[in-house]
Structure 1
Amino acid sequence: MTPEVLTPGTWTAEKVLEFIRERGIAYVDFRLVDLPGQWQHVTVPAAEVDLDTFRRGVPFDGSSVRGFRGIEESDMVMMPDPAAAFVDPFTAAPTLAIACDVYLPGARDRYERDPRFIAQKAEAYLRETGIADQSWWGPELEFFVFDEVRFGLGPNEAFHLVDSAEAAWNTGRPGGNGYQVRHKQGYFPVAPTDTMTDLRTEMCDELQRAGIRVERHHHEVATAGQAEINFAAGSLVQTADNVMAYKYIVRNVARRHGKTATFMPKPLYGDNGSGMHVHQSLSQNGTNLFWDENGYGHLSQLALHYIGGILYHAPALTAFTNPTTNSYRRLVPGYEAPVNLVFSKGNRSAAVRIPISIASPRSARIEFRTPDATANPYLAFAAMLMAGLDGIMNGIDPVALGYGPIDKNIYKLDGEERARIRSVPASLEESLRHLEEDHEFLLRGGVFTEEFLETWVDLKREEADAVRLRPHPAEFALFFDA
């Protein structure tokens, strides 16, 4: 069966049911997102799906979903959103995948910890403020494609190994072709050095069949198969839905070819990590509120205040935009990583960059470069929007607070000037402390709740402890003979 393109946001329950009948769909896969940001699913024969399914939902056990409910209150319901459906290209039987919202049984209230609900509340809060009626999001996800991945943990051992035929360390292997990608030189040579053009193109084909408009793809800077595929910007929830589908499609196309894709920010030592640069803007009645032909970087004062909110709250934001211990292996000062809490028209080490190569009233936007794709997109986008709105409502001036603009090479600044530039947190534990101290802006409009934030911090502290308490192989190399 040739998958049909379903345009996100345009489908009703009736249209989905008609599509199922006309296209011979055999199964419907209902999906929800857990707190860390991974899809969970249940599959139902298409013959069992009708309008009542969209009205009553599909029951599931919430106690088995990370960050949801305890076993004593585990009954929950996922309500399918017909506007978020696409044909799954990886199943043997024709299957339609549908993203769902999470509800409590009985009264059928929305579940406060559902990340999709938090994103929907952020969009509603934006409209309530009267500042804008729409936010636009264009994340750029980077990832690695490896030929082999091995890792193991035990009380007496810990190891990992990744490999790629195009990796710099494989120039000496038997049967090599001499076209391995040098460290930090993967951006972006043609074949035969770039071995993954066809693989990325196939990923793009599947993304487009799923209704996601692809703009470009290319090899990224690092050796060993680092890649990037860009897709068109959209509204907050729609774009978060697209990120979930994007990661699913990238992983499974790689698997189709016996390879494995990862969005882990720093799987390699000594080479570039993978980020998720997030372009964002606000509009009202179709007019881009970030544009000002005479402003710095063609940005309006409203956009500068939005930047002020992002940079002021960035230490707390990283708890959502960079939510793993591995995130901070990438965010290291002195390298290309965007750790500096400043804004700039061109400096890619700045946390906020203003794209100006094709500046226009339609395209004016900011780019927050710190995030990575281990983020739950619903939570990360919602948190960024709330920080930006706080900057607008409180008139946070990034210039007055010393956040730039800085258009010079930050690494060549003198010591005193360099010392005035703040950096993002150096660890997940530090970012969680900042979130505990600075989260009032997230609570406005009931978008986030204290209970949710406490749950998130507890979940992430458990992950941080799992890494912090374990002996590291490098410690044996450094200290075994101490």
Structure 2
Amino acid sequence: MNDWTTKIPDAAREYLAGRRLDEIECILPDIAGVARGKAMPAFKFDKQTHFYLPTSIFLQTITGEWANAPGGEDEYKEPDMTLVPDFSTATAAPWTADITLQIIHDAMTQGGKPVPTAPRNVLKRVLDLYAAEGWKPVVAPEMEFYFVARNIDPNMPIVPPMGRSGRKAAAKQAYSMSAVDEYGKVIDDVYDFAEAMGLEIDGILQEGGAGQVEINLAHGNPVDLADHIFYFKRMIREAALRHDCFATFMAKPIEGEPGSAMHIHHSVVDLKTGKNIFSDAEGRETPAFLHFIAGMQNHLPAAVALLAPYVNSYRRYVPDFAAPINLEWGRDNRTTGIRVPISGPEARRVENRLAGMDCNPYLGIAASLACGYLGLKEKRDPRPECRINAYMGEDELPLTLNAAIDLLVADEAMVEVLGPDFVHLYEAVKRDEYNEFQQVISPWEREHLLLNV
């Protein structure tokens, strides 16, 4: 065993026990949260001292096109960045034919500074701002996604998968164990893969859509949880492919069915005392708790561009489809965009219900925490608690990606927290994606406009 193998987690060492390691995947998440990088033989990784990738991978749109670098194309020479392995992220890739480890790498400049446009670094930047105030945020994400039938023709609608009964997965079966059993073999592989990878699943349940599943993750460090979601997305897709279906994390994959969210629970711990700053010594809500909520209300409109990063994301924000379209807050009220779940004082937390499962987990968590951070700094009070069905209120979110980007770049405080270099690059990528989408003529337009207007 080489020296670096002493730095990897126990689960990775157990996976390698008695086996010959064949390959290392050196990866990092791009703007979409897609794994980019290079694979190499293990013996090559042992001998390599530096790993490089071009910074331009952060300019790639979801369609594979390239946005212009902010500041002018003439100034951009596509420099390399240095990849630094984070050995604490080493985990198995148990679906591969060879014995393979994945290792997430941090993107650094050749001068040794974090690349400001790398999503993992954006999240770390936000956490550093918390740490400078003596705070440590804790998050717990929920993952909703769909198992769907294989779709090899993009012109055809996405449909639910065939279950073991021979019938298509049924809708409106929330929390049904029988519904989960319909694709139990895929779930079994998800559990087995997660165990091999050292990923902890807090629970799996059937959601309201046909073939829609939710996986809950235990609370913890935001970077660790973002890493886990990054790994989970790839792993769940691989498990589905083994059973002739797809797993999709689109915000709204099936017409007429609910969308898929990535609800994020937040609390903040005082670094000196280790106590939750949302509760006082008597267990009561603190001013900091209310300030955090106010930050959500005041800055979430700007954060939506990262929580809902694609044109499809905004199809999830419709009334009466289990997705809040408001900035209200309430205790134990799932119709509000900002919910306070039932808990004891030590676990008092704020749940952001606006994020879609299609968001990059690093950027979604960073944007959500940025809102709370700004609230703690600004010390403003939130609006009165919503004690009714908030779905009955008015829409408060941008309804298109372009409008969301406008709000992001206009919020100077949010831009500063996330980093101007990152926000300018993100704007360039998303404007390009939106313009590409605008060139596509949809079936709805052909059906209703071709002969009628």
Q: TM-score, normalising length from structure 1?
A: 0.83
Partner of 1:199: 186
Shift of 1:65: 5.2
Partner of 2:386: 406
Shift of 1:46: 1.3
Shift of 1:411: 4.4
Shift of 1:199: 1.9
- Give the distance between the partners of 1:176 and 1:95, measured in 2 at CA: 35
From 203, 212, 218, the counterpart of 2:205: 218
From 127, 145, 148, the counterpart of 1:146: 148
Partner of 1:246: 232
Partner of 1:117: 121
Seen in structure 2, the aligned counterparts of structure 1 residues 16 and 335 have a Cα distance that, compared at 3 Å, is closer
Shift of 1:89: 0.4
Partner of 2:85: 80
Shift of 1:393: 1.2
Look up the SS of the partner of 2:264 in the other structure: strand
Shift of 1:294: 7.3
- Give the distance between the partners of 1:25 and 1:407, measured in 2 at CA: 57
- Give the distance between the partners of 1:427 and 1:277, measured in 2 at CA: 20
Partner of 2:7: 15
Partner of 2:223: 237
Q: Is the 8 A contact 1:331 1:338 kept in 2?
A: yes
Seen in structure 2, the aligned counterparts of structure 1 residues 193 and 109 have a Cα distance that, compared at 3 Å, is closer
Q: Is the 8 A contact 2:122 2:419 kept in 1?
A: no
Partner of 2:160: 164
From 44, 48, 52, the counterpart of 1:59: 52
How do residues 32-431 of structure 1 correspond to structure 2 at under 5 angstroms? Answer: 32-50=28-46, 53=48, 56-64=49-57, 66-67=59-60, 72-105=77-110, 107-130=111-134, 132=135, 134-152=136-154, 159-166=155-162, 180-183=168-171, 185-191=172-178, 194-223=181-210, 225-284=211-270, 285-292=273-280, 299-356=285-342, 359-399=343-383, 404-411=384-391, 418=393, 421=394, 423-431=396-404
**What is the number of residues matched between the two proteins?**
432
Shift of 1:181: 4.8
Shift of 1:470: 1.9
Q: Is the 8 A contact 1:383 1:442 kept in 2?
A: no
Partner of 1:7: none
Structure 1: stretches of 5+ with no match in the other structure: 1-10, 153-158, 168-174, 413-417
Q: CA RMSD in A?
A: 2.6
Shift of 1:182: 4.5
- Give the distance between the partners of 1:443 and 1:320, measured in 2 at CA: 15
Q: In the alignment, is residue 28 of structure 1 matched against residue 24 of structure 2?
A: yes
Once the two structures are superposed, residues 401-432 of structure 1 have per-residue CA deviations (whole angstroms, 9 ceiling, x without a partner) of: xxx411212345xxxxx3xx551111111111
Shift of 1:190: 3.0
Q: Is the 8 A contact 1:78 1:100 kept in 2?
A: yes
Look up the SS of the partner of 1:28 in the other structure: strand
Shift of 1:29: 1.0
Q: Is the 8 A contact 2:324 2:391 kept in 1?
A: no
Seen in structure 2, the aligned counterparts of structure 1 residues 265 and 15 have a Cα distance that, compared at 3 Å, is same
Q: TM-score, normalising length from structure 2?
A: 0.88
Look up the SS of the partner of 1:304 in the other structure: helix
Look up the SS of the partner of 2:53 in the other structure: strand
Seen in structure 2, the aligned counterparts of structure 1 residues 192 and 127 have a Cα distance that, compared at 3 Å, is closer
Shift of 1:475: 1.5
Shift of 1:308: 0.8
Q: Is the 8 A contact 2:169 2:179 kept in 1?
A: no
Q: Is the 8 A contact 2:170 2:179 kept in 1?
A: no
Structure 2: stretches of 5+ with no match in the other structure: 61-65
Greater CA drift, 330-339 or 65-74: 65-74
Seen in structure 2, the aligned counterparts of structure 1 residues 367 and 196 have a Cα distance that, compared at 3 Å, is same
Q: Is the 8 A contact 2:199 2:228 kept in 1?
A: yes
State the one-letter code of the partner of 2:128.
A
Once the two structures are superposed, residues 159-182 of structure 1 have per-residue CA deviations (whole angstroms, 9 ceiling, x without a partner) of: 232233459xxxxxxx986x6555
- Give the distance between the partners of 2:88 and 2:381, measured in 1 at CA: 38
Look up the SS of the partner of 2:129 in the other structure: helix
State the one-letter code of the partner of 2:50.
G
- Give the distance between the partners of 2:208 and 2:185, measured in 1 at CA: 18
Bigger strand fraction: 1
Partner of 1:3: none
- Give the distance between the partners of 2:30 and 2:177, measured in 1 at CA: 39
- Give the distance between the partners of 2:180 and 2:104, measured in 1 at CA: 38
